[in-house]
Amino acid sequence: MKLLKMFTYRRRVHFYETDAQGFMHHSNYFRLFEETRGEFLRSLGLPYSELRKKGFEVVLIDAFAKYLRPVYYDDLLEVHLNLEDLTRVKFVFSYTVVVEGELKAKGKTTHCVIKNSKPIKLPNELYNLLKEIKEF
């Protein structure tokens, strides 16, 4: 199986992230996805903090995860992020979670941007940056 790798984020599973069975708790995959997309935007020179300074909030409108194999304390995770869809009003990231080359989980998140608590078109700076990457 070929794993897509637009951006890769690496880190270890912390003990506090595991459950009574010794697996990384299912809720932590969504945190992992958030960390990954935050680091992805930071790597592009457009971290969430910059968007927020301009009055924009990136909000999550949909999230999905499929757990395939357990992940354990101290496993070195690789999370591969891809921009799966982009329109003027939303963008979709997909994720694959891999440990030592083995696919452990996959997921997807959909986002939009709001300003003054109202949905808006993606700011040009964000849209153009993501569009350039999508077309690459």
In a 3-state reduction of DSSP, which class is residue 134? helix
Catalytic residue among 19, 62, 74, 85: 19
What is the identity of the amino acid at 118? K
Pairwise CA distance, residues 3 & 86, whole Å: 20
What is the identity of the amino acid at 57? E
* Residue 19 annotated among the catalytic residues of the structure: yes
How many CB atoms are located within 10 Å of the residue 123 CB? 17
Structure tokens at 81: 């992020």
Pairwise CA distance, residues 131 & 123, whole Å: 12
Going by C-alpha positions, the residue among 97, 91, 94 that lies closest to residue 108 is 94
Q: Annotated catalytic sites, by residue?
A: 19
